[in-house]
């Protein structure tokens, strides 16, 4: 039996990491993944302050040492001087995946015009995908899940619909999702799941 999928969850905030207020990023990420994933998985949570060297070390540790196949970060993606999460993410990348950032901003633009100020990125490091998400729990859910109409039909796809197939393509473990939360998209010609 293969080991469970490891997912790094990184909340980046000076104030939350110093105890000024309670972090909301990690609980929001954990709760959404618990709803969305059918595949057994283990969370590797980290709450750290803004600061490029520490963010870079944390991302490298989660992928290279801990063995995470997916790392989701929240916080530090705006234009403020301390917002360096995208810079740190790009610094540890093998390749950038610009479509994720484009779609995240597109989703957020349905709610706020300031979504264009977001610098969220996604990258591949080895056989892992690292994605920068927004900082607010509502925005995290909308970005991952997408937007649905009052009847529950998908109006705008969330980014997580593409994550499982991306992981397939880079040689990471297969992820299955609960289609009522987020239907993973795989092309018809995609290979079937590997069974042990």
| pLDDT value of position 45 | 97
Cα–Cα distance measured from residue 138 to residue 129, given in angstroms and rounded to the nearest whole number: 22
Provide the domain limits for residue 95: 5-170
Q: Give the residue with greater pLDDT, 18 vs 115.
A: 115
Domain annotation covers residue 49: yes
| pLDDT value of position 25 | 92
Domain annotation covers residue 156: yes
Domain annotation covers residue 62: yes
Domain annotation covers residue 25: yes
pLDDT in tens, 33-74: 999 999 999 999 999 999 999 999 999 999 999 999 999 999
Domain annotation covers residue 178: no
Of the pLDDT bands very low, low, confident and very high (cuts 50, 70, 90), residue 196 is: very low
Domain annotation covers residue 122: yes
Domain annotation covers residue 50: yes
| pLDDT value of position 113 | 94
Residue 158, exposed/middle/buried by CB under 10 A (0-12, 13-18, 19+)? buried
| CATH label of the domain that carries residue 156 | 3.40.980.10
| Entry pTM | 0.94
CB atoms within 10 A of CB 143: 27
Number of domains in the chain: 1
Residues with Cβ < 8 Å from 62, sequence gap 6 or more?
Answer: 8, 10, 44, 46, 68, 71, 128
Residue 145 pLDDT > 50: yes
Domain annotation covers residue 191: no
CB atoms within 10 A of CB 193: 10
Cα–Cα distance measured from residue 168 to residue 163, given in angstroms and rounded to the nearest whole number: 9
Residues 130-150 have a mean pLDDT of 93
């Amino acid at each position: 039996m293969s080991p469970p999928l490891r997912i790094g969850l990184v909340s980046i905030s000076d104030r939350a990491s110093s105890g000024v207020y309670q972090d909301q990023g990690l609980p929001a990420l954990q709760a959404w993944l618990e709803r969305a994933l059918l595949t057994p998985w283990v969370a590797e949570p980290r709450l750290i302050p803004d600061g490029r060297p520490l963010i870079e070390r944390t991302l490298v540790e989660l992928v290279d040492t801990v063995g995470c196949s997916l790392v989701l970060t929240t916080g530090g993606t705006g234009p403020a001087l301390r917002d360096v999460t995208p810079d740190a993410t790009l610094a540890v990348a093998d390749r950038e995946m610009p479509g994720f950032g484009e779609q995240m901003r597109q989703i957020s633009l349905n709610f706020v015009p300031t979504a264009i100020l977001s610098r969220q990125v996604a990258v591949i490091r080895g056989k892992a995908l690292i994605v920068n998400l927004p900082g607010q729990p509502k925005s995290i859910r909308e970005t991952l899940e997408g937007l649905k109409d009052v009847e529950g039909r998908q109006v705008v796809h969330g980014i997580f619909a593409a994550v499982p197939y991306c992981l397939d393509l880079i040689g990471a473990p297969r992820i299955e999702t609960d289609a009522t939360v987020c239907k993973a998209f795989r092309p018809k010609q995609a290979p079937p799941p590997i069974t042990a």
